[in-house]
Amino acid sequence: MAEELIVYQFSRYKVERGEFRHFLSLYGPEQLPAGKPLRRLMNRFLFCVEGWDLDPREIHCIPEIRRFYAAFHAAWPYWLYFCNLDTDTLRAMVTCCLPEVTTLQRDGHSAVQVACDPLDLVHFLRDDFGPMNAICERGQMREQDIEARTMKLFTYFGLPAGPKE
């Protein structure tokens, strides 16, 4: 049986104030379990923000959301472990944290293409593998399971995984 997602929604009020203390009181590092209960939390989190439904901009173009996700990430850098990879949510959150993003939309089309400097993305991911690995260690994960998650992340972000040793 597949585990249910843990959906955490931040209100516009909380986003504009950079407020995520309630989340940290539930899932901060000192609140997290270890071993198997922690392993069960991998790939289960889905984050969203509310209050911009009528705003035509993509979330990575909204300064308040960009600031919020950057601050949230600085306080809780475990996204690569916990965030669900079956949706675009993690990609959007990471995009909000990158220094520069380009958005392209063709006239008459609602779909938007988002582009970033691949090195910015690689640097973001590189910096986040340390916190991810710390959580993996706390969860007592096997090396092959950590490698599998890493490969899924590379695929998710459209990056080459590199040769197997």
Cα–Cα distance between 19 and 22 in angstroms, integer?
8
Instruction: Give the single-character DSSP code of 53.
Output: T
**In which element (H, E) is residue 95 found?**
helix 89-97
Give the pLDDT band of residue 128 (cuts 50, 70, 90). very high
pLDDT digits over 151-163, tens only?
999 999 988 875 5
End-to-end distance of the chain based on CA atoms, in angstroms? 33
Cα 33 from Cα 27, distance rounded (Å)? 9
Q: Which tens digits make up the pLDDT trace of 3-39?
A: 799 999 999 999 999 999 999 999 999 999 999 999 9
Residue 86 DSSP label? S
